[in-house]
Amino acid sequence: MIQTRALTRSFRIKKGVVEAVRGLDLSVSEGELVAFLGPNGAGKSTSLRMLTSLLSPTSGTAVVAGHDVVREPAQVRRHIGYLGQGNNAGHLYEPRDELYNQGRFYGMDRRAARRRADELLTDFDLAPMARRRVGSLSGGQRRRLDIALALVHRPRLLFLDEPSTGLDPQSRAHIWQHIRRLHELHGTTISFSTHYLEEADQYAGRVLIIDNGRVVADDRPERLKEQQASDCITVTTGDEESARHAATVGEQVPGAHGATVDGKTVRLRLGDGAAGLPEYLRALEAAGVKALTAELSRPTLDDVFLNLTGRRLRETAAEQESGEA
Amino acid sequence: MKTVTDTGIAFAREMVPELRAPIALAVNAVLPLLFLALFGPLLTSTPGIGEGSPWQWFLPGILVLLALSGTAGAGANLLMEINSGSFERMLVTPMNRTALLAGRTLKEVLTLAAQGVLLILVLLPTSFELFPLGALAGLVLLATFGVGLGALSFTLAVLARKQEQVFYLVQQACFLPLMLLSGVLLPMSLAPSWLYTVSRFNPVAHIVEAERALFAGRFAEPAVLYGGVCALAIAGLGLFFGARVMRDVRV
Ligand SMILES: Nc1ncnc2c1ncn2[C@@H]1O[C@H](COP(=O)(O)OP(=O)(O)OP(=O)(O)O)[C@@H](O)[C@H]1O
Ligand SMILES: [Mg+2]
């Protein structure tokens, strides 16, 4: 569905050049659900905008839905659905009118466009708001409408730029329910960008971690976590002396990558935490160290990001926000 | 062919909120009447506006003023849609891009023409004398001018999308001199000769003069020719630049 080769895009700005995307090589097959995960400014939107023909690449090629984005943008547009980072629906309009207009934009006749609009209003639980002004809808309702607009022509390939950013957890879950249904029921190929690692982890079959315009990792989320990060056992002891002792014991546990001590707490990194935990506790007991609490945590994509870039995704996002303020 | 159908579809989208919210229609109708009610009475004693009803002289001026203040500001709406994201969504559809702009322009022109007709109807019971053919030609000329202004305003909106204030700055910077030097409110013949000379370089002044001739039922005047040429040139420039920026637009 998507093939790109060395796709790059730079922007000229007052103080030089921003290389927003530096060499994207990507191949997405039919039916995949791919996440573009990265901090603010990583180049997610720029990548999606090149793939949807909104932005011409500085160099490289991209074939989307069988058509070259530069040479045949009209063909590409016919076959894809796109949800931008902004709002798809005009604020002065009513949802039903915009869905109807969108149908007309894709060449449907009036009746078909009206029928499709009503269908989507029902599908996305928007029927009660069909005649309200878009500007007066809640963030979650508006985002559902935006997605519905991207689906009017039943595209087989969908690009969603931050579909759930800025929404409360409940609305986010609701949005994702719709996106997953689309993927499971119709086999729609979906690429979405996000900076919520839970979303990429939970919903995507494949995650591209993007940092500074480059793809730094590309795999199934489970495999990324397996390969790029480790489980962590946290044990607390009665005093610092025992904690240090516990760390030395921990390093002997098979599969352990190392232990760190922080006051009365020991953190032990290891490959398979579920098997390692009972083993570690037995070893501690044998060594006469009393563990007060023990906790196992599985790695997150944040740990993967940390391992790959030396920064945390959450910190990077926070830094950027304070930098912009 | 697709351009024509798509223009119709884009036009229909623009018309919907107008029809749904009569407020917009009302504002569009009240504005010209306000001009009429507030400026009109001043004119009765103004020299240089010829014999007969002052409305005869004043109506063409208001029509052009409406185009300058309304149609020329049409880009503001587009700017809003560019910033909210809904314009981007349209760019990803198979819609012909020139048609996206043409449809919008068409709506602006239709609004302008409707305002013109409304004004004529309001003035009918007064001393205003209607020359049907002349008035029709006057409205066509106005619509042509409107096409150009609308398209230029949209072009400006697309170009200034990253810095909204540039749009308003340029629009204001053009509006004031074009209006003051066009003689819409006072006859240019009263102006000192240097000002009059300057006004000869203002296409809007020629359009106003052409409108005055047409609304007085006089076709065979050089003013009509000059005004017509100016309006056509503005329309041509607007459509040319509009189609160009739309082709390359990257929001
Ligand atoms: N039109 C533009 N002109 C100049 N620079 C741009 C433009 N668009 C994007 N950039 C720059 O390119 C880089 C990548 O931007 P992009 O919007 O792709 O990031 P993103 O990953 O989508 O971030 P976010 O999570 O904030 O949406 C940023 O440094 C941004 O400032
Ligand atoms: Mg983005």
A307 pocket-lining for ligand 1 (C-beta < 6 Å):
no
- Domain ranges (residues) in chain B: 2-247
> pLDDT tens across A123-162, in order?
999 999 999 999 999 999 999 999 999 999 999 999 999 9
Contacts of A90 in chain B (CB under 8 A): 81, 84, 86
Mean pLDDT over all residues of chain B?
Answer: 90
Q: Report d(CA A107, CA A129) in Å as an integer.
A: 25
Mutate to test the pocket of ligand 1, among A7, A44, A192 (most ligand atoms within 8 A of CB): A44
What pLDDT score does A93 carry? 94
A20 pocket-lining for ligand 1 (C-beta < 6 Å):
yes
Chain A nearest C-alpha distance from B154 (Å) = 17
Q: Residue A79, Cα to own-chain centre: how many angstroms?
A: 23
User: Are B86 and A80 inside 8 Å of each other by CB?
Assistant: no
Q: Which of B9, B12, B17 sits opposite A92 (nearest CB)?
A: B17
- Report the greatest alpha carbon distance in chain B: 57
What pLDDT score does A168 carry? 86
Cβ-proximal residues to A73 (8 Å cutoff; 6+ apart), any chain: A53
Q: Report d(CA B2, CA B77) in Å as an integer.
A: 25
CA B8 vs CA A133, B75, B107: distances in Å: 23, 19, 10
Residue range A230-298 in CATH 3.30.70.920: yes
User: Are B85 and A88 inside 8 Å of each other by CB?
Assistant: yes
B162: left (phi over 0), alpha (psi -120 to 50) or beta: alpha
Strand, coil or helix: A307: helix
Q: Which has the closest alpha carbon to A120: A145, A88, A85? A: A145
**Mean pLDDT computed over B95-99:** 93
A224 neighbors A218 (Cβ within 8 angstroms): no
A46 pocket-lining for ligand 1 (C-beta < 6 Å):
yes
Higher pLDDT, B151 or B28: B151
Q: Report d(CA A94, CA A90) in Å as an integer.
A: 8
Q: Which of A80, A93, A150 sits opposite B16 (nearest CB)?
A: A93
Q: Report d(CA B183, CA B65) in Å as an integer.
A: 10
Q: Which of A78, A87, A94 sits opposite B94 (nearest CB)?
A: A78
User: Are B86 and A102 inside 8 Å of each other by CB?
Assistant: no
Q: Which has the closest alpha carbon to A118: A139, A89, A148, A144? A: A148
User: Are B85 and A77 inside 8 Å of each other by CB?
Assistant: no
What pLDDT score does A324 carry? 45
Q: Give ∠ CA B166-A45-A186 in degrees, rounded to 5.
A: 130
pLDDT of residue B19 exceeding 90, the answer is: no
What pLDDT score does B18 carry? 85
User: Are A91 and B80 inside 8 Å of each other by CB?
Assistant: yes
Q: Which ligand is nearest to the CA of B251?
A: 1
Q: Which has the closest alpha carbon to A264: A230, A292, A286? A: A292
Q: Report d(CA B73, CA B127) in Å as an integer.
A: 32
Q: Which residue has its alpha carbon closest to ligand 1 atom 19? A: A41
The residue assigned the tokens 């793809």 is A215
**Mean pLDDT computed over B32-42:** 80
Strand, coil or helix: B140: helix
Output the six-digit token pair for A283: 């070893």
Chain B nearest C-alpha distance from A267 (Å) = 47
Strand, coil or helix: A288: coil
Paired residues of A292 in beta bridges? none
- The model carries a pTM of 0.86
**Mean pLDDT computed over B137-158:** 96
Ranges in chain A, pLDDT < 70: 315-325
Tell me what ipTM this predicted complex has.
Answer: 0.88
- Domain ranges (residues) in chain A: 2-225, 230-298
Continuous H helices in B44-131: 54-69, 75-84, 86-91, 97-123
Q: Report d(CA A238, CA A242) in Å as an integer.
A: 7
Q: Which residue has its alpha carbon closest to ligand 1 atom 29? A: A41
Helix (H) or strand (E) run with residue B8 in it: helix B2-20
Residue range A2-225 in CATH 3.40.50.1100: no
Q: Which of A54, A74, A94 sits opposite B250 (nearest CB)?
A: A54
Q: Report d(CA B151, CA B72) in Å as an integer.
A: 9
Chain A nearest C-alpha distance from B13 (Å) = 6
Pairing of strands A214-219, A206-211: antiparallel
Chain B nearest C-alpha distance from A279 (Å) = 56
pLDDT of residue B11 exceeding 80, the answer is: yes
A49 pocket-lining for ligand 1 (C-beta < 6 Å):
no
Q: Report d(CA A30, CA B58) in Å as an integer.
A: 66
